């Protein structure tokens, strides 16, 4: 069957996922509304308690009950960055977090997707209410936030709604910038991690995530959703270029640029900066490996590499500083700016494209910082 619109493409893939689950005598597509577990009891130690792994007999018994698929999480549409950054998990830790979620046996399968704009847990369970209480407890323990605050920011979906959600996410329909392509790569990584030896995807979630990747590819090949789309990195480029003359009183082409971090976001940022005529940029990183790879990828650019012990020297001589590191704590704040004599001097623009944030909220209270 040919699917010509975005929603018909997604419908085809959702139907295929449903067919798979019926064949396997599971029912993750139940559309029964799931009430919020408003009074879920949250307690216990955060990381200090070892949890018993289920026996083979217990896993077989759980699987025989039939599983429902769910998603719970935070996104730019539901939660502020102050809350999202409390739950952000580096990709290298996705599987470890999934193992924690299924440890008590209430949740049968789990997979974590954590990006700059969202934190989502996809899981399947036989008992929806117990599973939601267990996942909510985990999120509260990990974030250190009270469940009452989490309830105000979390979204919870099950069955068809959960399947539709991951399809929309992979297709770029749920992104801050509709149609951006980075999210498809991130969903693909979520699927790949779920089927690794230490992954917790199982047959239901791994199939659903695989179908979501297929949906994202088809949406982009059969529709025009990606045409003219931008990413957070390109939006940061456009914003800094548009505000440069107003905030710094100099043309963007003359501004001295620096970026802290050398990961994927930095590579995308440099790609977009290069398309706007970038000729020179300084990269500050903890090691030389990734910056040197970027030098090789962009041979036409003059990329200067500095290590973190020269961070404040680089910031002090730059006009625009982009931050894109995986640090869980701010690396720039008002006090540090003052300690290094960068308050009250020439104007400077700081652009943070990281979650958790690399630039503290109080940095904007420094008079010369935009």
Which phi-psi region, left, alpha or beta, contains residue 15 (left: φ > 0; alpha: ψ -120 to 50)? alpha
Among 164, 220, 189, smallest CA distance to 31 is for 164
Dihedral (Cα; 314, 265, 83, 120), 10-degree rounding = -160
Q: Which two tokens stand for residue 25?
A: 């005598």
Q: How far is CA 216 from CA 174, 181, 268, in A?
A: 12, 9, 20
The answer to whether residues 121 and 71 touch, using CB atoms and an 8 Å cutoff, is yes
Secondary structure of the chain: what % helix, strand, coil (to 5)? 50, 15, 40
Among 277, 281, 283, smallest CA distance to 253 is for 277
Spatial distance between the Cα atoms of 187 and 340, rounded to a whole number of angstroms = 41
Kindly give the pairing relationship between strand 280-285 and strand 302-307: parallel
3 as an active site residue: the answer is no
Kindly give, in sequence order, each residue whose CB lies less than 8 Å from that of residue 259, ignoring residues fewer than 6 positions away: 266, 269, 270, 281, 282, 283, 284, 321, 322, 323, 324
CA angle 118, 260, 339 (to 5 degrees): 110
The size of the chain, in residues, is: 370
Kindly give the pairing relationship between strand 155-158 and strand 68-75: antiparallel
Catalytic hit among 3, 12, 116, 244: 116
Taking the alpha carbons at both ends of the chain, their separation in whole angstroms is 53
The answer to whether residues 208 and 166 touch, using CB atoms and an 8 Å cutoff, is yes
Burial environment of residue 181 by CB neighbours within 10 A (0 to 12, 13 to 18, 19 or more): middle
Q: Which residues form the catalytic set?
A: 116
């Amino acid at each position: 069957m040919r699917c010509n619109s975005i929603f018909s493409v997604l419908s085809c893939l959702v139907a295929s996922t449903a067919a798979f689950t019926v064949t396997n005598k599971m029912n993750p597509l139940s559309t029964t509304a799931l009430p919020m577990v408003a009074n879920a009891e949250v307690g216990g130690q955060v990381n200090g308690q070892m949890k018993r792994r289920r026996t083979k007999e217990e896993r077989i018994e759980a699987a025989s009950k039939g599983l429902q698929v769910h998603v719970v999480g935070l996104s730019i549409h539901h939660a502020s960055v102050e809350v999202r950054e409390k739950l952000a998990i580096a990709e290298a830790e996705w599987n470890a977090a999934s193992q924690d979620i299924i440890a008590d046996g209430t949740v049968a399968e789990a997979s974590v997707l954590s990006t700059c704009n969202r934190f989502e847990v996809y899981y399947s369970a036989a008992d929806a209410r117990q599973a939601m209480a267990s996942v909510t407890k985990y999120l509260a323990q990990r974030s250190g936030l009270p469940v009452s605050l989490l309830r105000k920011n979390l979204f919870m979906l099950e069955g068809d709604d959960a399947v539709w959600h991951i399809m929309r996410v992979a297709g770029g329909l749920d992104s801050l910038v509709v149609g951006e392509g980075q999210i498809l790569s991130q969903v693909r990584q979520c699927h790949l991690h779920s089927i690794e030896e230490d992954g917790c995807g199982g047959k239901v979630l791994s199939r659903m995530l695989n179908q979501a990747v297929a949906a994202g590819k088809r949406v982009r090949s059969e529709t025009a959703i990606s045409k003219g789309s931008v990413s957070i990195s390109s939006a940061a480029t456009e914003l800094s270029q548009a505000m440069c003359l107003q905030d710094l009183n100099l043309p963007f082409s003359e501004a001295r640029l620096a970026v802290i971090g050398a990961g994927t976001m930095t590579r995308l940022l440099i790609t977009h900066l290069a398309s706007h005529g970038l000729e020179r940029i300084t990269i500050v990183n903890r090691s030389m490996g990734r910056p040197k790879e970027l030098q090789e990828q962009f041979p036409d650019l003059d990329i200067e590499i500095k290590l973190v012990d020269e961070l404040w020297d680089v910031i002090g001589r730059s006009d625009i500083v982009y931050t894109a590191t995986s640090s869980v704590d701010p690396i720039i704040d008002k006090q540090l700016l003052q300690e290094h004599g960068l308050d009250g001097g020439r104007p400077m623009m700081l652009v943070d494209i990281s979650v958790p944030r690399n630039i503290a909220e109080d940095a904007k209270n420094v008079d010369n910082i935009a």
